[in-house]
Amino acid sequence: MLLELALTFVVVTAAVDAAGENAREFRSICVFYQLLTQAIPEHKAVSGGAANPTQEDPTKKVDEIVRHIIKLNLTTVQSEIAAILADNTPEGTYEKVKENATKKGYFDRLEKAEFETMKADFKEIATEESGKEFRTKYGLPLSKEQKASLQKAFAHLTKRALDIRDEHKNIMERLDKVRKEARKEALTALYGAEYANSIGADNKPSDPWQNFPDNNNFPWADTDGRDTICQKPDGTAAKAGQAIAQDAVCLCVGAQASSNVYCKDPRLGTNDQIAAGSGGRAKAAANWKEYAKECNTVVPPGTVQLTPTALQEAISAFYNQLGKNAVATGSAPNSATGSLHKGSAIFGYYAYDTAANPECATPSPASTAAQGKGACIDYVSLLAKKAGILWVTAVRAVSDKLLGADKIARESQMTIAKAQQLQNQMEALLLMGFLQKSAGAATTPVTVDEQNKCAKFNGNETTCTNNDCSYDKTKKECKHKSGTENTAAGAAATTGCAGHKDKTACENDKTGDKQNCAFIKGKHGQDDKEKEKCRNVICLLNKNKILIFVSLFDFFFKDSKILKNFAKFIKF
């Protein structure tokens, strides 16, 4: 067995070409470079169906929902709030309202732009042509009774929407913070902690990183040669293992005047050698820019995408390459000094022989892999310490930050869903307003458009009545007929079911086959609950519809506390 092993390592001891032996390692460097210079992934609010999803900025999406909720709430506002919103005098401006102790309480949580938008929406809902579709959809204006039934619920839902917006703002601030932290860790991995700290708070995580360290902050000791920096780093400042760019230079240059170039053939970088003496940092920085340019060819942009999985795979590939790029310059090692395990933590090209331990010091003769030499980095000391290889630790931190950002983004999506649910509830309650009309009310509330239609005929009785409107001769005003018929509702108490004094007459009150009245005890908030008398059956049916409707909504919106208690807000 020993003989077979020895024969395996017997090679010609003459010159060994040393151009391009670190091409595989250089490719790994390029994968890290392309990953870590990408924009930190943004997170969008996804809506629409699976077949045609749309993506929006989460903050804008929440603001849009809250604006619509505030607009829906305007349909039920009290008269004092309506007066403020309709005030176009200087007293109705945001500044004046905030100065007024009585008025400002209604708008405490609104910024000036939101207040102005609220006033514009109020005007649009009330009179403008652009609000006609909105008025038609929700049956506006609401009657006094409808407003009273919805005001408390709408006020609660609107307050909750503003709370959710504040919650979402905090979520997005956390997301922005963790994305900036991810960018900082990426720069730390590429160029070292000193460079990353020099960028400042706004490291533009949404943009690809295209800047390079200058000659003053590139991670390379200015007066130390390549071998001193790269040979066997121990965690001290200015030694290899601090940054990817630094370690790339270690793989691609030599320390001796006649050293060969190891990264690629033809050579990369202006400087083939970086020996001891001043000017080393500038040479290393210049070389790195050329390496980065070459990376766009070796691993084209877009080939890899920045994800936690991609980063972990790149780290695994890096560790898998350690100790794999060895060449023997004589027979197999026959002592502990030259044992194979000595190269287990080496990244890059190195040589073995029977006596010399690989030192990752570049050989002096050109085109030669000398005994115990190599264009490599021996990470053995770093891997024995808790901190490990610092740039690898930073890459792992980027992965962790991205996972954290994904988690926060899911919080954002759930918060948006809660806001959307509030909007859906308000729309549903507004659309079911017709169920809340009293059976004794003989007319439908007059819409703004119907009022405007008849108002055009003020002063002209003939034209007014010919257009299905009612004319007030005293005031010379033309009004929609529904506006003049509500007075009959008050008489219903004596002329409807309540007017029947005996059971037979009550039960004979029918419209076709449908019974209008029943001789029963009071229900659902009616007076004299224990007394049997003639009562309106249609009214009871309408109120039962409301309870059924609320029960259905409570089923579909299980998380909504307000709907569970909605019956409290309905006036029966």
Q: For residue 476, what pLDDT is reported?
A: 81
Give the other-Cβ count within 10 Å of 498's Cβ: 16
Backbone angles phi, psi at 478, to 5 degrees: -105, 120
CA-to-CA distance for 328 and 340, rounded, in angstroms? 11
β-pair type (326-328, 346-352): parallel
Which parts of 407-536 are beta strand (E)? 469-472, 477-480, 510-511, 514-515, 517-520, 533-536
Residue-wise pLDDT for 114-126, tens only, equals 999 999 999 999 8
Domain coordinates of the chain in residue numbers? 2-23+193-397, 57-181+413-431, 438-494, 496-572
| Helical pair 112-126 and 58-73, crossing angle rounded to 10 deg | 50
Q: What is the pLDDT of residue 372?
A: 67
pLDDT digits (tens, 9 = 90+) for 234-249: 999 889 999 999 999 9
Mean pLDDT across 428-440: 64
Asked if residue 363 has a cis previous peptide bond (ω within 30° of 0), the answer is: no
Tens of pLDDT, residues 40-53: 999 999 877 677 78
Mean pLDDT of 441-457: 65
Of residues 67 and 435, the one with the higher pLDDT is 67
Confidence of residue 534 (pLDDT cuts 50, 70, 90): confident
**At residue 455, does pLDDT exceed 90?**
no
Reported as a pLDDT band with limits 50, 70 and 90, residue 520 is confident
pLDDT band at 464 (very low <50, low <70, confident <90, very high): confident
- Predicted pLDDT at 259: 64
pLDDT tops 60 at residue 335: no
Highest mean pLDDT among 94-103, 176-185, 459-468, 541-550: 176-185
Residue 327: both structure tokens together = 């060449």
Tell me what pLDDT residue 32 has.
99
Q: What is the rounded distance in angstroms from the CA atom of residue 437 to the CA atom of residue 460? A: 33
pLDDT band at 15; cut points 50, 70, 90:
very low
Q: What is the mean pLDDT of residues 293-317?
A: 97
Least confidently predicted of 202-211, 344-353, 487-496, 516-525: 487-496
528-534, long-range: CB < 8 A, 24+ apart: 533/498, 534/497, 534/498, 534/499, 534/500, 534/501, 534/503, 534/505, 534/506, 534/509
What is the predicted pLDDT for the residue at 7?
31
Mean pLDDT in residue range 304-320: 98
Tell me what the pLDDT averaged over the chain comes to.
Answer: 82
- Band (pLDDT 50/70/90 cuts) for residue 529 is low
Average pLDDT of span 162-176: 98
- Mean pLDDT, rounded, for 504-517: 75
Query: Would you say 165 and 62 are in contact if contact means Cβ atoms under 8 Å apart?
Result: yes
* Burial call 526-547: b when 16+ CB within 10 Å, e when fewer: beeeeeebbbbbbbbebbeebe
400-432 pLDDT, tens digit each? 999 999 999 999 999 999 999 999 999 999 988
Percentages of the chain per state (helix, strand, coil), in multiples of 5: 55, 10, 40
Question: Which range has the top average pLDDT, 30-34, 255-259, 485-489?
Answer: 30-34
